């Protein structure tokens, strides 16, 4: 069996405890590779390496740091197909989505390479014969803990602003998807990243993840994952006075007004919900449609959803791959059983394991549409992380916005209308970190990204992300 090792201090490393765990293909159940089960001792070694590397990395110019990213992005693009296949094998998403994600990783590195020259403080005139200056300093050793839904992209979102700012880092991938992360880390080393600047420790969240958060040398934790885990991470970080960025779950509403372009709204809802098998933090998770157009809209939506082809992400004809893991599958099945038992909604289409050759080997689930969902249903209250879309009818925009904001989450939201006034009202009143008009899901490294309410705090991407990894020191000068 092939073993892909951790990356500590620029070298491949096994776990101190000598144990491994299996990484399986969610489409076939086949064993892909094994990776070391990192322990607290491995985390300590990785942090030690990051501490040792910090001073020299922080001293070189941001432009020189950026050149490593630039070279990395070039190699990643050359190896795009191989990386995309690996990502599909461990995560399940269709190859076309995996290619996008690998491109996204390269793009975010290039973006922060371009921002390298903009890392600077301010000079502030003060009364009297003096000046105040601010200088920006890296924090030291940072930790990045990431989920399995977009492992390559989220790795890029975290490592690029952290490293360009002069910090060193320990990354803990999700237990189901470490292979692409490990390969990307080895490409960074090949591109000239000095030993110890980026270290990757694989292992369970409760052990490897928590030891990383508790380690006294770690100054900042950037976490992406479920709200519940984020709260635990924040609790642990608080006792060590560590800075935290929390990118947590969402339950994004999509509002379809009666003047919307129905064709593009239907396409947007399908892509918004079923991309990555519904396992995207900013997926459309609740759909509110004006009742005057609901009949026509739902009919078109149903036809589109029924036409999606479910299968192995490596097959060219696949529109939607499997769920990533057993826990996801059980969750989805449990939700559907509950809808049926409590008679809480009408299943328009889907709700079952699809039938095709080999479908019983993977975590496949049909793309599912449900209507007539009561307001207090779990489908509207929880973050449904899978291919199930509840459709709710509303009388008007006021009701749609009220329902949309009636959630503990506030990651994204979209409004679909041709009316500029309605669009403006949506942008002003929807309570979310990112609001789209006539689109949903689109993100870019240039654009700040993050949530409000229980979707977390802090921002990734854009220049905003740099301030998450820098601290301001003030110098006051009197002549
Ligand atoms: P998760 O919270 O289960 O795990 C995320 C990471 O945290 C993994 O690496 C895991 O091993 C680690 N972890 C688990 N317990 C830990 C602990 N006690 N201490 C430290 N680390 C621990 O989330 P998941 O199931 O991997 O990912 C899905 C979730 O991520 C969804 O809620 C989704 O919305 C969210 N997400 C949010 C964003 C965003 O930017 N807001 C992006 C992608 C995914």
Is residue 174 lining ligand 1, measured as CB closer than 6 Å?
yes
Is residue 383 lining ligand 1, measured as CB closer than 6 Å?
yes
What's the pLDDT at 439? 98
Is residue 36 lining ligand 1, measured as CB closer than 6 Å?
no
Catalytic residues: 247, 281
Atom of ligand 1 nearest to the CA of 228: 2
Q: 233 C-alpha vs ligand 1 centroid, how far in Å?
A: 10
Atom of ligand 1 nearest to the CA of 449: 40
For all residues of the chain together, what is the average pLDDT? 96
4-34: b or e for each residue (b if 16 or more CB lie within 10 Å)?
bbbbbbbeebbbbeeebbebbbbbbeeebbb
Q: 291 C-alpha vs ligand 1 centroid, how far in Å?
A: 36
Q: 196 C-alpha vs ligand 1 centroid, how far in Å?
A: 25
**How far is the first Cα of the chain from the last one, in angstroms, to the nearest whole number?**
69
The answer to whether 115 and 164 have CB atoms below 8 angstroms apart is yes
pLDDT class for 238, splitting at 50, 70, 90? very high
What's the pLDDT at 186? 96
What tens digit of pLDDT does each residue of 137-185 get? 999 999 999 999 999 999 999 999 999 999 999 999 999 999 999 999 9
Q: 416 C-alpha vs ligand 1 centroid, how far in Å?
A: 30
What's the pLDDT at 161? 98
Give CA–CA dist 276/283, Å, rounded: 9
pLDDT of 477 strictly over 90: no
Q: 205 C-alpha vs ligand 1 centroid, how far in Å?
A: 9
pLDDT class for 4, splitting at 50, 70, 90? confident
pLDDT class for 1, splitting at 50, 70, 90? low
Give CA–CA dist 231/56, Å, rounded: 34
CA dihedral 180, 71, 7, 91 (to 10 degrees): -10
Give CA–CA dist 166/60, Å, rounded: 8
The DSSP-derived string for 383-399 is: ---SSEEEEEEESSHHH
Q: Return the SS3 of 70.
A: helix
What's the pLDDT at 410? 98
What's the pLDDT at 129? 76
289-299: b or e for each residue (b if 16 or more CB lie within 10 Å)?
bbeebbeebbe
pLDDT class for 479, splitting at 50, 70, 90? confident
Q: How many CA atoms lie within 13 A of 365 on its CB side?
A: 31
Of all residues in the chain, what percent carry a pLDDT higher than 90?
95
What tens digit of pLDDT does each residue of 395-431 get? 999 999 999 999 999 999 999 999 999 999 999 999 9
Ligand 1 pocket test target in 143, 150, 205 with most atoms within 8 Å of CB: 205
Residues near 451 by Cβ (< 8 Å), separated by ≥ 6?
Answer: 247, 248, 250, 409, 410, 411, 412, 432, 433, 457
pLDDT class for 130, splitting at 50, 70, 90? confident
Give the residue from 134, 135, 148, 179 showing the smallest Cα distance to 34.
179
Length of the chain: 479
What's the pLDDT at 470? 97
Q: Which of the two residues, 204 and 131, has the higher pLDDT score?
A: 204
Q: Return the SS3 of 374.
A: coil
- Mean pLDDT within 216-229: 98
The protein residue whose alpha carbon is closest to atom 28 in ligand 1 is: 225
Give the residue from 228, 214, 28 showing the smallest Cα distance to 147.
228
pLDDT class for 128, splitting at 50, 70, 90? confident
The protein residue whose alpha carbon is closest to atom 13 in ligand 1 is: 205
Q: 128 C-alpha vs ligand 1 centroid, how far in Å?
A: 51
Ligand 1 pocket test target in 35, 145, 147, 177 with most atoms within 8 Å of CB: 147
Give CA–CA dist 146/101, Å, rounded: 15
Q: To which H or E segment does residue 142 belong?
A: strand 141-145
Atom of ligand 1 nearest to the CA of 157: 40
Atom of ligand 1 nearest to the CA of 249: 34
What pTM was estimated for this model as a whole?
A: 0.97
pLDDT class for 2, splitting at 50, 70, 90? low
Give CA–CA dist 261/259, Å, rounded: 7
Is residue 281 lining ligand 1, measured as CB closer than 6 Å?
yes
The protein residue whose alpha carbon is closest to atom 18 in ligand 1 is: 206
Is residue 409 lining ligand 1, measured as CB closer than 6 Å?
no
- Mean pLDDT within 26-54: 97
What tens digit of pLDDT does each residue of 276-323 get? 999 999 999 999 999 999 999 999 999 999 999 999 999 999 999 999
What's the pLDDT at 138? 98
The protein residue whose alpha carbon is closest to atom 41 in ligand 1 is: 247
Mode of pairing for the β-strands spanning 243-247 and 252-256: unpaired
Q: 147 C-alpha vs ligand 1 centroid, how far in Å?
A: 4
């Amino acid at each position: 069996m092939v073993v892909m090792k951790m990356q500590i201090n620029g070298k491949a490393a096994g776990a101190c405890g000598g144990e491994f765990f299996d990484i399986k293909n969610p489409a076939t159940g086949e064993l892909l590779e094994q990776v070391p089960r990192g322990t607290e001792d491995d985390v300590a070694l990785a942090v030690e390496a990051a501490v040792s590397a910090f001073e020299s990395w922080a001293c070189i110019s941001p432009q020189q740091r950026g050149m490593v990213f630039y070279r990395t992005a070039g190699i990643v693009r050359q190896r795009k197909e191989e990386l995309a296949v690996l990502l599909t094998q461990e995560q399940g998403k269709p190859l076309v989505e995996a290619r996008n994600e690998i491109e996204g990783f390269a793009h975010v590195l290039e973006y922060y390479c371009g921002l390298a020259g903009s890392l600077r403080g301010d000079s502030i005139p003060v009364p009297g014969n003096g000046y105040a200056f601010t200088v920006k300093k890296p924090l030291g050793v940072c930790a990045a803990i990431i989920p399995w839904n977009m492992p390559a992209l989220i790795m890029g979102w975290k490592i690029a602003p952290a490293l360009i700012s002069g910090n060193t880092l320990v990354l803990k991938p999700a237990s189901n998807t470490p292979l692409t992360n490990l390969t990307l880390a080895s490409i960074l080393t090949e591109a000239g990243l000095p030993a110890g600047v980026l270290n990757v420790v694989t292992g369970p969240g409760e052990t490897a993840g928590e030891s990383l958060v508790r380690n006294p040398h770690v100054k900042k934790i950037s976490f992406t994952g479920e709200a519940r885990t984020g709260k635990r991470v924040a609790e642990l970080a608080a006792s060590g006075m560590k800075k935290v960025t929390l990118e947590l779950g969402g339950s994004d509403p999509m509002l379809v007004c009666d003047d919307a372009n129905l064709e593009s709204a239907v396409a947007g809802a399908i892509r918004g919900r079923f991309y990555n098998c519904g396992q995207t933090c900013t997926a459309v998770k609740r759909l509110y449609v004006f009742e005057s157009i609901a009949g026509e809209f739902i009919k078109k939506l149903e036809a589109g959803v029924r036409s999606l082809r479910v299968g192995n992400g490596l097959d060219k004809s696949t529109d939607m791959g499997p769920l990533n893991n057993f826990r996801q599958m059980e969750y989805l099945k449990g939700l559907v059983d509950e809808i049926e038992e409590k008679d809480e909604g009408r299943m328009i289409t889907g709700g079952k394991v699809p039938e095709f050759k080999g479908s019983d080997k993977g975590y496949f689930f049909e793309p599912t549409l449900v209507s007539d969902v009561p307001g207090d249903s779990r489908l509207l209250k929880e973050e449904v992380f899978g291919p199930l879309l509840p459709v709710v009818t509303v009388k008007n925009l006021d009701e749609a916005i009220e329902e949309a904001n009636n959630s503990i989450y506030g990651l994204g939201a979209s409004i679909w209308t041709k009316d500029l006034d309605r669009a403006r009202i949506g942008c002003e009143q929807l309570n979310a970190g990112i609001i789209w008009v006539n689109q949903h899901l689109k993100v870019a490294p240039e654009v700040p990204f993050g949530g409000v309410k229980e979707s977390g705090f802090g921002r990734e991407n854009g220049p905003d992300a740099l301030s998450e990894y820098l601290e301001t020191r003030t110098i006051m000068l009197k002549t």
